[in-house]
Structure 1
Amino acid sequence: MIARLTGSYLPTRSISRLVEKVKMTPIPAVQKAVLIRETGGLDVLRYEQDFPVPKIGNNEILIKNKYAGINYIESYFRKGIYPSKKPYVLGREASGVVVAKGDAVTKFDVNDKVAYLSSNTFAQYTKISEAGTVSKVPQDSTDEQLKLYAGSLVQALTSLAFVREAYPVKKGDYILLYAAAGGAGLAFNQFLKKAGAHTIAVASTDEKLQLAKEYGAEFLINSSKDDVLARVLEITNGQGVEAAFDSVGKDTFETSLKALKRKGTLVSFGNASGPVPPVAINILTPKNIKLLRPSLFGYIATHEEWESYSSELFDLLHSGALKILISKTYPLEEYNQAAEQLESRKTVGKLMLEISQD
């Protein structure tokens, strides 16, 4: 019957567009979002209920977000460590449903369920290019599965890419891993164990270390009471580690360098304790050390790279070969509480936001 609404038959393409319009939910002009209008402490975080919904271009889709993952990187933008144009909506990963698409979009349709990496995800709506880091997920995905997709993209993909490319981990390697019970740390533990490495996990409490062990760590160091360097040298018989994955930054940089063996690799990728100060390049000379400051986006810059890594990640999640510990989910309006918990090192695993659909 739908083909005869005007009294004459419509072309198939017109039918498709009409059905799509019937399915579309009206897009509001404003939305709820968490953002900053200035840099500073937790007090600059704003939850606004009348922030403009982004307008999409011909090659873009608009996603109504259901879940967004919380990452330490949000604090870097809030503090001004990473620059941003204000006002700036926080967030780097999410999952949800496509609610509108540009005229030139061919890869996505309205009502597709998707997971994606992008800025501005702490909001009810986010726009992204169809050529960007966004993928369809099964249409029958449950809310819990959508939460899992949104909670795995930044940290699990970082871990997967870094053990493949930042330092290609080999069987038998000794690897030093900081923040071993956080969202990224638990993923690192699993990928390092799968590669056959001996993971030396560092965390601030015995409880966190036991969790790291459950996820694959072999050796445990409590940074609150142990001498990290002394323990690393003891574990490695004075040789040091092949590589260190250090997300802490300023406070651990020197220790990580000293813990490396000759021709070792330091992968510094976070600023949890503050940015690493400028270093003289000749500090790398005595042991022929390699120093990297990589980002995930440098490894998924092309469509082929994104497809390769994201499809492998989703396969691992579907099969149960990769476990993501989601320790707590907050409503969007309580992000400031989640940020305080994360930055005070009181959390393990992954923190999430559930975004209001109203």
Structure 2
Amino acid sequence: MVKAIRVYELGGPEVLKWEDMEIGDPKEGEIRVKNMAIGVNFIDIYYRTGVYKVPEIPYTPGVEAAGLVTGVGSGVNNLKIGDVVYHNSMGTYTEEQIVLAEKASLLPLIDPLVAASAMVKGLTARFLVRTWFKVEQGHTVLVHAAAGGVGSLLCQWANMLGAIVIGTVSTKEKALQAKEDGCHHVILYKEEDFVTRVNEITSGQGVEVVFDSVGKDTFQGSLACLKARGYMMSYGQSSGTPDPVPLSALAAKSLFLTRPSLRTSNISKEEMREAIGDVVSKVGSGALRVRVNHTYPLSQAAQAHADMAARKTSGSIVLIPDGSGH
């Protein structure tokens, strides 16, 4: 028996239950992993609240973790007991779990804490600036939630590519972090209107692209910040689902609106392997700074969710299985 977070009904953080669970032994093509660090992502909240559909109920939340291989099923030749791995598989909010070996990668160089907090967010940032929209030297970009887990990496990556980066944040503390992460201009959205400020910063030109994970509260303003033929990359909805957009709102400036997701982009194994290599090399070399600003015991996952939804956190959040020694 292991301890895990289980969800029996959709709802608020209180539906995350801490209890015993049976997991069994790895079968063919599977490994058993003792999780050392578990990444917390906004997608976990979207599943919990029903924005995204979960495969079944009850379920264990979580989509990524790093840990120690404690068992190996038949037919697995590339991993052995004692290896430290990163895996992106459903159900990571648990002390130990059975994982498909093909979902796991060896972690020889990166701290498990960093890996668990960086991969899904790093891959999201990478596809946003390199695939779904190609950020180029001289572009001006707007990043909402610039001090968040993905936002922090987006600002750094866009800066690396030669863009002028404008970020929105809620507090002066987060503004300092955003500056460190490559924001040339930081807007405190609670104190000033971000549309007005973007207009001032760009001398009325607007930006090539907006990376918006906030949704309802920022959506209309984001569209207003775009220059003609600009791209609205709506990749999250932490404040709620945006209101429907009439096509005439896009036609006014011939805008492009897209809602990309790692889950639905039909990314090939080769493309994903290349992207993972890109993220790992940039994190390993220090080119991308991963901010693990908050750790919680796994048993307190509900508190982690509540704090993230209330925007009390910045950077990445990691759950540590109780008694794992971290």
TM > 0.5 between the two?
yes
**Within 2, Cα distance between the matches of 1:86 and 1:298?**
21
Q: Where does residue 172 of structure 1 map in the other structure?
A: 138
Q: Closer, same or farther in 2 for the Cα pair 1:126/1:314, shift >3 Å?
A: same
List gaps (5 residues or longer) in structure 1.
1-29
Q: Distance in 1 between matches of 2:248 and 2:87?
A: 40
Corresponding residue of 1:34: 5
Deviations 1:173-221 (A, max 9, x none): 1101000011111111110110000111001112211110011000111
Aligned with residue 129 of structure 1, among 100, 103, 112: 100
Look up the match of 1:116: 87
Equivalent residue runs for 1:280-299 within 5 Å:
280-298=246-264
Q: Which moved more, 1:237-246 or 1:109-118?
A: 109-118
Per the alignment, do residues 205 and 224 of structure 1 end up closer, same or farther by CA in structure 2, a change over 3 Å counting? same
Aligned residues: 323
1:27-73 per-residue CA deviation (whole Å, 9 max, x = no partner) reads xxx2111121101112211111x112155442222211110011122
Q: In structure 1, what is the Cα distance between the partners aligned to 2:224 and 2:293?
A: 34
- Deviation per residue, 1:216-235 (Å, 9 max, x gap): 00011111011111111111
2-side partners of 1:151 and 1:124: how far apart? 17
| Structure 2: runs of 5 or more not aligned | none
The letter of the residue matching 1:153 is M
- Partner residue of 1:107? 78
Question: Percent same amino acid at aligned positions?
Answer: 37
Larger Rg: 1
Which of residues 180, 183, 196 in structure 1 aligns to 2:149?
A: 183
Identify if the C-alpha distance between structure 1 residues 47 and 326 changes in structure 2 by more than 3 Å, giving closer, same or farther.
Answer: same
Map of 1:87-98 to 2, 5 A cutoff? 87-98=58-69
- TM-score for the superposition, normalised by structure 1: 0.86
CA distance in 2, matches of 1:128, 1:242: 41
Contact in 1 for aligned 2:158/2:165 (Cα 8 Å): yes
Report Cα offsets for 1:155-188 as digits up to 9, x if no partner.
1221112100111001111101000011111111
Letter in 2 for 1:110: I
SS at match of 1:62: strand
Distance 1:165 1:314 in 2: 17
- 3-state SS, counterpart of residue 99 of structure 1: strand
Native 8 Å contact 1:300 1:309 kept in 2: no
**Cα separation, 2, equivalents of 1:100 and 1:282:** 57
| More moved, 271-280 vs 63-72 | 271-280
Alignment partners' CA distance in 1, 2:175 and 2:123? 22
SS at match of 1:176: strand
Q: CA RMSD in A?
A: 1.7
TM-score after normalising by structure 2: 0.94
**Maintained 8 Å contact 2:198/2:206:** yes
